[in-house]
Each structure stands twice: as structure tokens, then as C-alpha cells.
């Protein structure tokens, strides 16, 4: 199989699962440091997973986001709301057009390195809150990437229409070590267990029948 793809790798459950799932097609993993509370811990997980698989990994800083963008995710752990993703207050954690920006940069990188595809691990559970995770965004962005490059680079978002629990089931099947992934929006040494990403992480592992290796603050 040709290694002709770049993956956007946060270091969370979803993108780490995609990394393992498509490892034979991935030439480069790219993580973005946009200055969120949890970026450093996520990126350390991304680095270790790539090391494990022998896949090149680079980190691209997007410092301007912290300076100019509006999101509670960029403003300190105390402002991160607790609760589920379907609550209105979770909207404050959205970083405007984050996926659009990461995809555009990854697309330019792909064209620079002669690669053909960009992979992203958005999933069905993201659709309600995040407009830049929805199928219509994925389709339009793929078309923009294809039209805007010589090589006609395309976006492959394999998890767009499945849930995080489905992703965890795939991960269980292929043996992903979820202890080496990080989700919590508060960014502490331990996962808080209460923010929307922690709640979602716990539920997905429970539904997939995985013995959750995460140590939560509340335990």
C-alpha cells in the first residue's frame, strides 16, 4: 500500500485510532499547537504514538489563535464548562473554523511533499456542536482542496458517519492503547472526568466494552 497521506493527529482517542487504523497509508502526522489548555499533553501522546508506529511527526504552532480567536478552550481551565456535548454552554469551547485551518495547512504540506490525501478523525457525535465536522463541510473542503492544488489533493474523513463508540470498537479490535491518548479540555495531569470530552471518553470506552485505563481526578 502506498504511503500517500498526511493525518491531522491531536493525540486524542479519535485521531490516534485513525492513525493505527490507516498506518500503512500514512507518510506524515501533523499536530497543531493552538495554545489550548490541553494541547501540550495531547501532543505528547501524539508524539509517542507516532514513535511506536515509526511514522514521522511534526508540530505546527498556530500562536495567532490564542491572540486573536475567541474560545473558552484558549482562555484557561477555569472557564471550561462541565456537562455533555449537547448542552448549549459547550459551544463556548468551539475554536472557530479550527478544522478548516488545520486542513488547509495540511493540504499545503501534502502538496509540498507530493502526498495525495489528508486524513481527519471527525465523527458523527461532533456534528451537533461543531459545524466544521459535518458531512457537508467535509465535502466542500475536500472539493476546495482538490480544486486548489495541482495534484488534486482530497480529504479522507473515514469516521464522519460513525460514533465515538464505534471508533472505540475499532480501536479495541486493532489493539490501540488508550492510556496513551489525552482528551480532557481542562488540560490537567489527570483527566478531570467532568468536562464534555471526559464524559464522552468514558461513555465511548464503556459502550465499546473497553476496560478504561484512564485515571480520572474524581476517582
- The size of the interface with a second copy (CB under 8 A), counted in residues, is 42
Give the Cβ contact number of residue 11 at 10 Å.
26
Q: In angstroms, what is the minimal distance from the CB of 105 to a second copy?
A: 6
Nearer to a second copy, 17 or 71 (CB): 71
CA distance 10 to 32: 7
Q: Is 47 in the site for a second copy (CB under 8 A)?
A: no
46 counts as binding a second copy under rule CB under 8 A: no
* Among candidate residues 162, 213, 175, 212, the one with its CA nearest the CA of residue 16: 175
**Is 137 among the residues that bind a second copy (CB under 8 A)?**
yes
What is the rounded CA–CA span in Å between residue 108 and residue 149?
A: 8
Residue 172 CB-half CA count within 13 A: 16
Question: Could you tell me which of 81, 2, 16 has the C-alpha nearest to residue 44?
Answer: 16
Q: How far is the CB of 214 from a second copy (least distance, A)?
A: 30
Of 8-16, 131-139, 166-174, 207-215: span binding a second copy (CB under 8 A):
131-139
Residue among 19, 27, 107, 184 that touches a second copy (CB under 8 A): 107
Site string for a second copy, 166-205 (x = CB under 8 A): ----------------------------------------
Task: Specify whether the CB–CB gap between 59 and 33 falls below 8 A.
Answer: yes
Stretch that binds a second copy, among 43-51, 68-76, 164-172, 173-181 (CB under 8 A): 68-76
**DSSP-based three-state secondary structure for 69:** coil
E strand intervals along 23-168: 26-33, 56-61, 117-119, 154-156
By CB under 8 A, residue 112 contacts a second copy: yes
Which residues here bind a second copy, judged by CB under 8 A? 58, 60-61, 63-65, 68-71, 95-101, 103-105, 107-113, 131-132, 134, 136-137, 140-141, 143-150
Amino acid at each position: 500500500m502506498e504511503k500517500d497521506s498526511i493525518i491531522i493527529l491531536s493525540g486524542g482517542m479519535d485521531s490516534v485510532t485513525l492513525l493505527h487504523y490507516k498506518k500503512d497509508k500514512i507518510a506524515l502526522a501533523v499536530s497543531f499547537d493552538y495554545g489550548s489548555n490541553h494541547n501540550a499533553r495531547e501532543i505528547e501522546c501524539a508524539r509517542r504514538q507516532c514513535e511506536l508506529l515509526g511514522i514521522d511527526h511534526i508540530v505546527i504552532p498556530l500562536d495567532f489563535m490564542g491572540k486573536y480567536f475567541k474560545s473558552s478552550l484558549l482562555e484557561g481551565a477555569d472557564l471550561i464548562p462541565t456537562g455533555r456535548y449537547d448542552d448549549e454552554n459547550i459551544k463556548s469551547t468551539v475554536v472557530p473554523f479550527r478544522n478548516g485551518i488545520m486542513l488547509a495547512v495540511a493540504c499545503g504540506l501534502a502538496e509540498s511533499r507530493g502526498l495525495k490525501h489528508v486524513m481527519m478523525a471527525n465523527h458523527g457525535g461532533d456534528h451537533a456542536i461543531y459545524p466544521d465536522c459535518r458531512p457537508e463541510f467535509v465535502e466542500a473542503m475536500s472539493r476546495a482542496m482538490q480544486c486548489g492544488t495541482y495534484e488534486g489533493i482530497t480529504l479522507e474523513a473515514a469516521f464522519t458517519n460513525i460514533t465515538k463508540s464505534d471508533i472505540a470498537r475499532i480501536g479495541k479490535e486493532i489493539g490501540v492503547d488508550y492510556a496513551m491518548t489525552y482528551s480532557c479540555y481542562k488540560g490537567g495531569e489527570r483527566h478531570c472526568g467532568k468536562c464534555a470530552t471526559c464524559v464522552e471518553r468514558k461513555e465511548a470506552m464503556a459502550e465499546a466494552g473497553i476496560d478504561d485505563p484512564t485515571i480520572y481526578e474524581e476517582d
